[in-house]
Amino acid sequence: MTLEFRDGVAVVDGEPRVLVTADYPYYRDDPAVWADRLRAVRDELGIEVITCYLPWRHHQPSPGTPPDFTGATHPSRDVIGFLELCRDLGLKVIGKPGPFIHAEVTYGGLPDWVCPDHDPAIEALVGASGEPLRWADSPDRAPGRTLPAPLGAVFSAMAAEWLSAAGKVLSGAPVAALQIANEGIYTNGALPLTAYDHSPSGLAFHRGRPAGADRGRGHAEYLAEVYRVWTQATGTDLPVVVNLNPPTVEELDDWLARVRPELWDGITYGFTNWMGVVSSDPDAHARYVIAAKRAPGPNLEENWGFSELYDPAYADAATSFHQSLLALAAGATGVNVYTGVSTSGWLPDLDSAHGGVYPDCAPIRADGTASEKAPVVRALAGFFARHGAEFLECEPVRSQAFGLYLPYAGIAALDKREGQGGPGCGRALRAFHDRMRAQGCDYDLFDLETVTAERLARCAAVTVPGGPFMHRHVQELLAAYEGRVVVDGPVPALDEDMRPCSLLTPSEPVAQENPVLYGRADAYLRSHPGRDVHYLTVLVQDDGDGPVGVRTPLGDVEVLAARGGAAVLRLTGDGLDDLLVKGVNGWLDSAVAARVTFAGETVAAPAPGDLVRIGR
């Protein structure tokens, strides 16, 4: 199998595919059960691509010896044997060598000997206050270990040696792609811009860069540079993807200013889930959708395994199923089951903060048996294995868009003045998201400085944040646009060089008819440009009892799902085709006989339960 990413879409052996993967932390399990667990992921979950971190501290605990990838010092370090098992079982792998991985591993997977506290020659990561920034593994570990500056000469050389060694192991079959870093660099992609990096090497990177209105661009270029350096260090020609964490509510502008996939030069955007239960929390919903829309790419960590560590709602598969479908509906090109397998044995130095089973409620239990989540994952994987290519061919039905003007995000992130007279991007984006959700409308999201006129023309209206200035070429693009331009705030009167430029003629916000006729749910529609085929995703909110009615181009659809449940349907000119409907949510004590009615046909579960039809 050959894998490449084209515009964020996984292309497998020449065919676009919704990338459905499952993570297995081999380093937390007894090697004697690796084959059994991998076989369970393949056979019980229907997933053929494994993702796995390679913890640096696990494979190279001492600086004086090379990394152990064969199990010479401990069987759980035999990643070469693990990859051979994957190959023998017909599984492909996305390897994730870090160098920082988080994954509830001590010191985020970094070995102790790269810590500036251990070796003063290693430059420390420093925040805007001048204090070293630390990584705390658990609440009772205070203040935590100091993190190394990514571009510091000593650590950079150490990380390059590790990534080169790992890259050699990961360069052959069955490895199809790599993921570098974790959620930014040190799981800090959503932190304020002031949180990194003010070390001497970080300041040296910024020094001499052109000054201008876009005060956040240097931070975005810094992130892009670390990604470039670490990718190059692997020495492979495999496709590379990253996994940004979604923005926090408070630091939305910081995230927007920093996360600019347009600067990554071939590295594919990806994102993670960890922000709350979207079916009950509007803030979590907004953060999740914005992350999914920022750029095309897969969700690389959807929480299917943790309830004790995060939220008890994840004990039931309905929560993760809902969020997986939301990711794909909002724009993601794949989903990951994190983790697919619960594990129960690891070396103390790898993780001393968590004991027992990790995670507590994965689809494959720690004893290797399939949990009640397994059939849900298998249905999800089976549906998109059959229809994923067509799903991606279908175009989201979106008549409105939000245009990010990222210089405003940088100003707001660094000045923290948004809402007090200063320009910003986050507040306007969040207000737009809430308005679109209230109207039941999907929307596009793009960077105004790089968007093409063709993409802009696909929408009837675009909302942009207002402020005192805007790049001249952006104003010219919007002035030539034949749709409606809604400016949230003052109409710009200057260009980026502060010369007079006022080309925008703003319109009033556009109200749209909500396609959700009744019920408490969100609905997303994708339509094929050349065939009478549509995919409807219905996402029931936690307080949504009873059926949901949705208007589509082929007629009205009624879906009955559990509270917090979800459905994805394939609709054609001939009627209702394949479908998945979650009829049970044990966490919310909601169970219905899942049902869909469309074009005079009703398909229903015979008793309270889920409804699955694949390959009609």
DSSP string computed for 418-442: BTTTB--SHHHHHHHHHHHHHTT--
User: Which CATH number fits the domain that encloses residue 408?
Assistant: 3.40.50.880
| Calpha distance 302→197 (Å, rounded) | 28
Tell me the average pLDDT of the chain: 95
pLDDT at 139 over 70: no
CATH number at residue 29: 3.20.20.80
* Amino acid identity, position 150: P
Which of 329, 362, 393 marks a domain boundary? 393
Residue that is written with structure tokens 């983790």 in the block = 339
Distance between CA atoms of residues 246 and 278, nearest Å: 12
At residue 415, does pLDDT exceed 90? no
Residues 323 and 404 in one domain: no
Q: To 10 degrees, what angle do helices 79-88 and 153-169 make?
A: 40
| Residue reference for tokens 């050699």 | 168
pLDDT band at 419 (very low <50, low <70, confident <90, very high): low
CB-based burial label for 420 (10 Å; 0-12, 13-18, 19+):
exposed
Cβ 76 vs Cβ 29: under 8 Å: yes
Q: Which distant-in-sequence residues (6+ apart) come within 8 Å of 31 by Cβ?
A: 71, 75, 76, 78, 81, 82
Q: Give the strand order in the sheet containing 484-488.
A: 443-447, 400-404, 461-465, 484-488
Q: Which of 101-105, 349-353, 513-517, 545-549 has the lowest mean pLDDT?
A: 349-353
37 in a domain, yes or no? yes
Output the six-digit token pair for 322. Answer: 């809902």
Residue 444's Cβ-side half-sphere holds a number of Cα atoms within 13 Å equal to 21
Q: Do both 254 and 301 map to the same domain?
A: yes
Is residue 494 situated within a structural domain? no
* Structure-token match 């109207």, residue found: 439
Where is average pLDDT lowest: 140-144, 250-254, 302-306, 505-509?
140-144
487 touches 466 (CB < 8 A): yes
Taking phi over 0 as left and psi of -120 to 50 as alpha, with beta for the rest, 397 belongs to beta
One domain, residues 374 and 403: no
For the stretch 378-399, pLDDT in tens is 999 999 999 999 999 999 999 9
Residue-wise DSSP of 305-335? S-SSSS-GGGGSHHHHHHHHHHHHHHT-SEE
Q: Do residues 319 and 432 share a domain? A: no
Residue 420 has pLDDT above 70, yes or no: no
**360 falls within a domain:** yes
For residue 7, the model assigns a pLDDT of 96
Cα separation, 70 vs 434, whole angstroms: 52
Residues 572 and 539 in one domain: yes
Task: Assess whether 47 and 183 both reside in one domain.
Answer: yes
Query: d(Cα 72, Cα 68) in Å, to the nearest integer?
Result: 7
pLDDT level of residue 264 (50, 70, 90 thresholds): very high
Instruction: Indicate the Cα dihedral angle 373, 379, 385, 390, nearest 10°.
Output: -120
User: Roughly how many angstroms between the first and final C-alpha of the chain, as a whole number?
Assistant: 28
Q: Give the domain-ending residue among 449, 471, 488.
A: 488
Q: What is d(CA 611, CA 607) in angstroms, rounded to the nearest whole number?
A: 10
User: Is the residue at 509 inside a domain?
Assistant: no
Q: Which domain holds residue 551?
A: 516-613
Q: Are residues 401 and 378 in the same domain?
A: no
Are 270 and 402 members of one domain? no
Backbone torsions φ then ψ of 261, nearest 5 degrees: -60, -20
pLDDT over threshold 90, residue 177: yes
3-state helix vs strand vs coil in the chain, percent to 5: 30, 25, 45
Q: Looking at the domain assignment, is residue 496 inside a domain?
A: no
**Does 143 sit behind a cis peptide bond, omega within 30 degrees of 0 on the bond before it?**
yes
| Residue 596 domain-assigned (yes or no) | yes
SS3 label, residue 531 = coil
* Selection from 403, 375, 43 nearest residue 256 by Cα: 403
Which whole number is the average pLDDT over 41-55? 98
Cα–Cα dist 503/540, whole Å: 43
Residue 277 counted as domain residue: yes
In a domain, 499, yes or no: no
User: Quick one: 13 and 94 in the same domain?
Assistant: yes
Looking at the DSSP assignment, which residues form a beta bridge with residue 268? 241
Between 128 and 123, where is the model more confident?
A: 123
- Does residue 37 surpass a pLDDT of 70? yes
* Token digits of residue 344: 């129960």
In terms of DSSP H, where are the helices of 460-504?
472-480
Indicate whether 343 and 436 sit together in one domain: no
Distance CA(465)–CA(436), nearest Å, equals 16
* Distance from C-alpha of 219 to C-alpha of 550, rounded to nearest angstrom: 43
Residue-wise pLDDT tens digits, 179-229: 999 999 999 999 999 887 899 999 999 887 777 778 889 999 999 999 999
Strand partners, 20: 335
Residue 335 confidence (pLDDT): 98
369 pLDDT higher than 90: yes
Peptide bond between residue 197 and the one before it cis (omega within 30 degrees of 0)? yes
Q: Do 345 and 400 fall within a single domain?
A: no
Residue 417 confidence class, pLDDT cut points 50, 70, 90 = low
How many structural domains compose the chain? Answer: 3
Six-digit token pair at 416? 């923290």
Q: 42 falls in which pLDDT band (50, 70, 90)?
A: very high
List pLDDT tens digits, range 568-601.
Answer: 999 999 999 999 999 999 999 999 999 999 999 9
Q: 79-96, pLDDT tens digit by residue?
A: 999 999 999 999 999 999
- Residue 450 makes CB contacts below 8 A (sequence gap 6+) with 262
Instruction: Count the neighbouring beta carbons within 10 Å of the beta carbon of residue 154.
Output: 17
Task: Please classify residue 484 by burial: count the beta carbons closer than 10 Å to its beta carbon, then call 0-12 exposed, 13-18 middle and 19+ buried.
Answer: middle
Whether residues 346 and 437 fall in one domain: no
